[in-house]
Amino acid sequence: MNRTWVTPGGVHPPENKHQSMTQQIGSLPIPDKLVIPLSQHIGAAAAACVEVGQHVLKGQLIAEAAGVVSIPMHAPTSGTISAIEHRPIAHASGMLAPCIEITSDGADSWIEHQGISDYEHTSPEKLLEIVANAGITGMGGAGFPSAVKLNPGRQRPIDTLIINATECEPYITADDSAIRERAGEIVDGIKILSAILGHPHNILIGIEDNKPEAIAALQPHVESTGISIVVFPTKYPSGGEKQLIYILTGKELPAGKLPADLGMVCINIGTTYAIKRAVIDGEPLISRVTTVTGEAVGTQRNYDVLIGTPVSHLLAHNQFDQERCSRVIMGGPMMGFSLPSAEVPVVKTTNCILAPSYAEIPEDEPAQPCIRCGMCAEACPVSLLPQQLFWYAQAQDHDRLEAHNLFDCIECGACSYVCPSNIPLVQYYRSAKGEIRQAHDEKIRSDHARERFEFHKARIEQAEQEKEAKRAARREAAQQAKSATATNGSSGGSSAADIIAAAQARAAAKQASPEDQRAKLERTIAATEQRLQLAEEKLAEAVASNSDKQSVFSAAVENTRQKLEQSKSKLAELAE
Partner 1 sequence: MIELISQQPIFAALIAMVGLSILFGGLLGYAAEKFKVEGDPIVEQIDELLPQTQCGQCGFPGCRPYAQSIADGDAINKCPPGGQATINALANLLGVPAPELDQEHGQESEVKTVAYIREDECIGCTKCIQACPVDAILGAAKLMHTVIADECTGCDLCVEPCPVDCIDMLPVEETIADWKWSTPAKPGQMIATDRRGELGSNTVQEDAA
455 binds partner 1 (CB under 8 A): yes
The residue (of 25 and 90) whose beta carbon lies closer to partner 1 is 90
List the one residue from 61, 264, 353, 423 that touches partner 1 (CB under 8 A): 423
The residue (of 27 and 422) whose beta carbon lies closer to partner 1 is 422
Contact indicator for 40, 196 with CB cutoff of 8 Å: no
Site for partner 1 in 55-84 (CB under 8 A): none
Site for partner 1 in 271-290 (CB under 8 A): none
Taking CA atoms, 322 is separated from 294, 342, 358, 373, in Å, by 12, 11, 11, 38
Sole window of 69-77, 224-232, 286-294, 361-369 interacting with partner 1 (rule: CB under 8 A): 361-369
Sole window of 124-132, 238-246, 311-319, 365-373 interacting with partner 1 (rule: CB under 8 A): 365-373
328: left (phi over 0), alpha (psi -120 to 50) or beta: beta
Instruction: Name the nearest CA neighbour of 73 among 335, 354, 275, 307.
Output: 307
- 56's enclosing H/E stretch is strand 55-56
369 binds partner 1 (CB under 8 A): yes
List the one residue from 447, 466, 522, 558 that touches partner 1 (CB under 8 A): 447
Here the contacts of 380-385 (C-beta below 8 Å, separation 24 or greater) are: 380/8, 380/9, 380/414, 380/415, 381/7, 381/8, 381/9, 381/10, 381/237, 381/240, 381/243, 381/410, 381/412, 381/414, 382/8, 382/9, 382/242, 382/408, 382/409, 382/410, 383/8, 383/9, 384/408, 384/409
338 binds partner 1 (CB under 8 A): no
For strand 96-104 and strand 33-37, is the pairing parallel, antiparallel, or unpaired? antiparallel
Quote the DSSP letter at residue 258.
-
The residue (of 122 and 421) whose beta carbon lies closer to partner 1 is 421
Please name the residue ranges forming H helices in 135-173.
Answer: 146-149
List the one residue from 402, 442, 537, 558 that touches partner 1 (CB under 8 A): 442
394 binds partner 1 (CB under 8 A): yes
Contact indicator for 90, 97 with CB cutoff of 8 Å: no
Interface map 222-251 toward partner 1 (x if CB under 8 A): ------------------------------
Sole window of 206-214, 364-372, 461-469, 535-543 interacting with partner 1 (rule: CB under 8 A): 364-372
| 467: helix, strand or coil | helix
Q: How far is the CB of 420 from partner 1 (least distance, A)?
A: 12
370 binds partner 1 (CB under 8 A): yes
The residue (of 448 and 470) whose beta carbon lies closer to partner 1 is 448
CA angle 118, 124, 125 (to 5 degrees): 120
Contact indicator for 456, 448 with CB cutoff of 8 Å: no
53 binds partner 1 (CB under 8 A): no
95 binds partner 1 (CB under 8 A): yes
Contact indicator for 352, 330 with CB cutoff of 8 Å: yes
Q: How far is the CB of 13 from partner 1 (least distance, A)?
A: 21
Q: How far is the CB of 401 from partner 1 (least distance, A)?
A: 13
363 binds partner 1 (CB under 8 A): no
Query: Rounded distance, CA 449 to CA 470, Å?
Result: 31
Quote the DSSP letter at residue 137.
B
Sole window of 88-96, 178-186, 278-286, 296-304 interacting with partner 1 (rule: CB under 8 A): 88-96
367 binds partner 1 (CB under 8 A): yes
Taking CA atoms, 277 is separated from 187, 248, 272, in Å, by 12, 27, 9
450 binds partner 1 (CB under 8 A): yes
452 binds partner 1 (CB under 8 A): yes
568 binds partner 1 (CB under 8 A): no
CB atoms within 10 A of CB 533: 12
The residue (of 159 and 451) whose beta carbon lies closer to partner 1 is 451
Binding site for partner 1 (CB under 8 A): 39, 89, 91-93, 95, 97, 366-370, 393-394, 421, 423-424, 427-428, 430-435, 437-438, 441-442, 445-450, 452-453, 455-457, 459
